[in-house]
């Protein structure tokens, strides 16, 4: 049996960027990866994140926001921070996890619904590109 690569995406509230990244990697990598997401503190999954993922056929409506504390005793191959705040406050995980940092702009902005959704789409699309490249590099 092939061992799966374990990846944790981490951001501040586990409400948008890390949730989107988790959904994207699960979709792109099938069963080659075990994928998790968490925040430096738990909050809620933003409806805009669910909406922009639904636009590309990925359902994250069943996700829940989790604190990194829930994963303290887990081992990961990669811990990927997707916001600068989480990068500065990233907890230490046991094992030999490789830390990566992707500075993705916060999609939570003021403005009307269309402006907010546009910001979430930009975050989703940038994460999609980075995750595609990440998967290619891991599988090379």
102 located within any domain: yes
Is 73 among the residues known to form the active site? no
140 located within any domain: no
122 located within any domain: yes
How many domains does the structure of the chain reveal?
Answer: 1
CATH of the domain at 39: 3.40.50.2300
Catalytic one of 11, 25, 68, 123: 11
Q: Where does the pLDDT of residue 30 fall: very low under 50, low under 70, confident under 90, or very high at 90 and above?
A: confident
Q: Where does the pLDDT of residue 5 fall: very low under 50, low under 70, confident under 90, or very high at 90 and above?
A: very high
103 located within any domain: yes
14 located within any domain: yes
Catalytic one of 83, 123, 127, 135: 83
Is 119 among the residues known to form the active site? no
Residue range 111-138, pLDDT digits in tens:
999 999 999 999 999 999 999 999 999 8
Its pTM surpasses 0.85: yes
138 located within any domain: no
Cβ–Cβ under 8 Å, residues 104 and 122: no
Cα–Cα dist 5/111, whole Å? 39
Q: How many other CB atoms are there within 10 angstroms of residue 70's CB atom?
A: 12
46 located within any domain: yes
Catalytic one of 28, 90, 108, 117: 90
Is 11 among the residues known to form the active site? yes
66 located within any domain: yes
Residue range 34-83, pLDDT digits in tens:
999 999 899 999 999 999 999 999 999 999 999 988 988 888 999 999 98
The range of the structural domain enclosing residue 114 comes to 5-133
Those residues with Cβ within 8 angstroms of residue 92's Cβ, 6 or more apart along the chain or in another chain: none
Those residues with Cβ within 8 angstroms of residue 17's Cβ, 6 or more apart along the chain or in another chain: 9, 11, 82, 83, 104, 106, 107, 123, 127
């Amino acid at each position: 049996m092939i061992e799966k690569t374990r990846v944790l995406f981490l951001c501040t509230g586990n409400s948008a960027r890390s949730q989107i990244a988790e959904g994207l990697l699960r979709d792109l990598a099938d069963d080659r990866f075990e994928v998790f997401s968490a925040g430096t503190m738990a909050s809620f999954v933003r409806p805009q994140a669910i909406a922009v993922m639904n636009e590309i056929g990925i359902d994250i409506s069943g996700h829940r926001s989790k604190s990194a504390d829930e994963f303290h005793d887990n081992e990961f191959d990669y811990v990927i921070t997707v916001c600068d705040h989480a990068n500065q406050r990233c907890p230490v995980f046991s094992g030999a996890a490789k830390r990566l940092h992707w500075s993705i702009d916060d999609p939570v902005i003021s403005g009307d619904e269309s402006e907010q959704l546009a910001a979430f789409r930009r975050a989703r699309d940038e994460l999609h590109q980075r995750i595609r490249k990440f998967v290619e590099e891991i599988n090379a």
